[in-house]
Each structure stands twice: as C-alpha cells, then as structure tokens.
Amino acid sequence: MKILSVLSVRLCLACTLCLGLSSCQKPEAPAPESSAPRQLELIGTDLVKPQYRSLSSQIRFTGTLQARQRTSVQAQTSGTITQVYADNGNQVQKGQTLLRLNNQDDQARLLQARANYTATKAQADLSQNLAERNQRLFKQGFISEIEYERSKADARAQRENMAAQQAMVNIAQKAVNDAVVSAPISGFVSNRQVQVGQTVATGQTLFEIVDSSSLELQGAAPDTQNNIQVGQAVQFQLAGQDQRVFNARISRINPVTDPASRAVQFYANVSSPASSLAIGNYVEGSIQLNNSQSGLVLPAQAIQQDNAQQAYVWAIRQNRLHRVNVDVVMQDRASNSVMVKGIQPDDVISLIKFSEQANGRPVKVS
C-alpha cells in the first residue's frame, strides 16, 4: 500500500510540472497576409492592338431598288383584245407591238371622216376658184365690191371647214392606230393585266414595263445625319441574300424629313451591273462620308466613359493594367470602329471593361 501512495504522489507532481511549462510558452504569431495586389489573368482573345489605318465615317441605311424608268401602258381607245404578243418577264423594245384591239367602230368613223373631208375640200376648191374669178371681174368693173367681198368670205369659210374636217380625220386615224398597242420604252414586262377576248375601256391599264438597265436605290437614313450630300458613295447588299457588295452614288436628297419615320429620303444611281440585281429588293448598306482620316483605330467596345464623359481604355504596359484617357477623333458605326488619340502603337488594349480598382494591377496573359 505504501508503494501505491508514493506512485500516486509522483504522478501528480509530473502533471503539475507539465502544466506549468506549457503556461510559460509564448503563443505562435499568425502568418502575415500578403499585401501584393492580386494578379489579373487575361486571354489573347480579350486583347487587341491598335491598327494604323484610314477611317471614314459611315451612315447605315435601309432601302429598296427601283427602276429609274418605268411606265404603265394604258388603252387609248376602247375595243376587244384580239391578240397579245407579250407576257410577264418578256423583254420588249421601244415601239414593239404588245397587243391588238378589234375596233371596227373606229374604222367606220375614219372612213366617214375621210369622206366628209373630201366633200369639204371640193367645196373649198370651188369657192376659191369663184373668189379668184370675181377678183378679175371686180377689177374690170363687171361686179360690185360687195359681191366680190362675199365670194372672198365664202372661200375663207370653206378653207376653215376643210381644216376642221382634216382634224376629224386625224382623230379617227389616231383611234384606229391606237388599236395597235406598242411599247413606249425598252425594258421588261413586269405586269400583264389583260387577256385575249377581254374588252377594255379607254384609260385602262394593260401592261407595266420597267427598264432594268438603269436602277435607282431609294434609301432612308436617320434624320440626325445632316451631312448627307449629293455625290457621296454608297455601298449596299441585298437583304437576306449573298454578301456581294454593290456600288451607287447619291443623286438626289429629299429636303423634307419623313414625318412618320423621321428619316431622310435619298436616291442613288446604281453603278453595279443591273443583271445581277432584282427590282423591288430590300437592301442594307452604308453611305461613305467625305471625311477620311488616318490614325490609330480600335474596336468601339474597347472604349469606356466615366461619369464626366471622359473616354478611356485599359492598356497593358510593362505587364500592368493602366487606365489611359483618350480622345475620340472619329467613329465609324458601320464597321464599329473608333479612331482615338492618346495611346501608343505598341499598346495592348483590353476589350474587357474593369472598375477603377483594377488600375495598376499586374496582368498575366495566357
């Protein structure tokens, strides 16, 4: 029993000594936190280098293609159609016969008018001969002056009557000629509106013809663009079709803004081959403004603005990100490009937009 008591006392003393030593040790200091700014990681597709090139402002527009010359062929006389020589899509030449009308009434009127003219001419010739004979008799004193003047007046009246009958012949002849309908211009038949056997009235539309050799672009641009001028170059593409680019040049500008769309209407002569275009197609394009300049050009998405409307970019210089203020010289909305001043040709510009806290932080490009 004595031995167990001694062991218990020694065990208690050992525990007490261990507790005392542990209480005398100093606590470990916390690991110091790094004060260096966190490194930004960017990939190559997030970066661009400025390009030195020429840039000119452009104005986007939409419009349609129309034939500069088009016409509606209308009946100049009434009648029944006996023959039709042209159909939709056919190419016709000026003066080419398009259809014929059966106008027997006009033929009869022409014969009547010619007969009346012949009778009137005979009477006019007789009156003229009588007036000339009376003139000789009057000079010889065989007839009175009153009788002579009466014969002269009758001759004048017969001449006027003959002229009136000639006019009636011309009218009847025109009606007969109008039974043969000819193309007033060269082009293509775009709309045939009649059939053989159909009776048409005077003034009724028979065909529509368009001259596709000379096309005109009718476009509309925003009314805020007040620098559109006659002579400016235009490039356009057919909406929803291939990516071929066609050329035109502005010939006229409507001085009145469209009240519904608030757009400026303009017209441009198409210089591209008309055979590859279709009349009535919708087009999209741009107007090239005459203000070309050369300088450093960036994509518009690289430009930011602060609350003071100061434009700036994020440039990587010496592996750090820097905010660089720039001046916007010109913007081309068609190509979404901006010409700026304030950057260097060897700068690398970020397309990603950062907050002000990113200024000066190190950058790693992967």
Strand order in the sheet with 293-299: 51-55, 293-299, 337-341, 327-332
- Are 283 and 236 spatial neighbours (Cβ–Cβ below 8 Å)? yes
- Are 56 and 288 spatial neighbours (Cβ–Cβ below 8 Å)? yes
Q: Any idea where the domains of the chain sit in the sequence? A: 44-57+293-365, 58-100+191-290, 104-177
Dig out the tokens for 253 from the structure.
């500008």
Q: How far apart are CA 147 and CA 104, in angstroms?
A: 46
Q: Looking at residues 3-32, what average pLDDT do you find?
A: 44
What is the model's pLDDT at position 6? 40
CATH of domain 58-100+191-290: 2.40.30.170
Domains 44-57+293-365 and 58-100+191-290 in one fold = no
Architecture of domain 104-177: Orthogonal Bundle (1.10)
Does the pLDDT value for residue 9 go beyond 60? no
Dig out the tokens for 58 from the structure.
């452009």
pLDDT tier, 329 (very low <50, low <70, confident <90, very high otherwise): confident
Taking only the tens place, the pLDDT of each residue in 53-88 is 988 777 888 999 998 899 999 999 889 999 999 999
Q: Which residue has the higher pLDDT, 10 or 293?
A: 293
Percent of the chain with pLDDT over 90: 52
What is the model's pLDDT at position 59? 81
Taking only the tens place, the pLDDT of each residue in 181-236 is 999 999 999 999 999 999 999 999 999 999 988 889 999 987 655 678 898 889 89
What is the model's pLDDT at position 50? 94
Minimum mean pLDDT range among 240-249, 263-272, 344-353: 240-249
Angle between helices 145-177 and 104-140 (to 10 degrees): 160
What is the model's pLDDT at position 95? 94
What is the model's pLDDT at position 152? 92
Percent of the chain with pLDDT over 70: 86
Q: Which of 64, 74, 63, 95 is nearest to 191 (CA)?
A: 74
What is the model's pLDDT at position 24? 45
What is the model's pLDDT at position 362? 92
Are β-strands 320-325 and 311-317 bridged in parallel, bridged antiparallel, or unpaired? antiparallel
What is the model's pLDDT at position 191? 94
CATH class of 44-57+293-365: mainly beta
Residue 122's region, left for phi above 0, alpha for psi from -120 to 50, else beta, is: alpha
Taking only the tens place, the pLDDT of each residue in 27-37 is 444 444 445 56
Q: Which residue has the higher pLDDT, 262 or 347?
A: 347
Does the pLDDT value for residue 93 go beyond 90? yes
What is the model's pLDDT at position 273? 67
- Are 219 and 266 spatial neighbours (Cβ–Cβ below 8 Å)? yes
Looking at every residue in the chain, the average pLDDT score rounds to: 85
pLDDT tier, 104 (very low <50, low <70, confident <90, very high otherwise): confident
The CA-based dihedral angle spanning residues 269, 270, 275, 280, taken in that order and rounded to the nearest 10 degrees: -80
Helix or strand holding residue 146 (H, E):
helix 145-177
Q: Which residue has the higher pLDDT, 31 or 366?
A: 366
Does the pLDDT value for residue 10 go beyond 90? no
Dig out the tokens for 366 from the structure.
């992967």
Q: Kindly report the backbone phi and psi dihedral angles of residue 316, in degrees, each rounded to the nearest multiple of 5, phi listed first.
A: -95, 115
Taking only the tens place, the pLDDT of each residue in 338-358 is 999 999 999 999 999 898 888
- Are 57 and 289 spatial neighbours (Cβ–Cβ below 8 Å)? yes
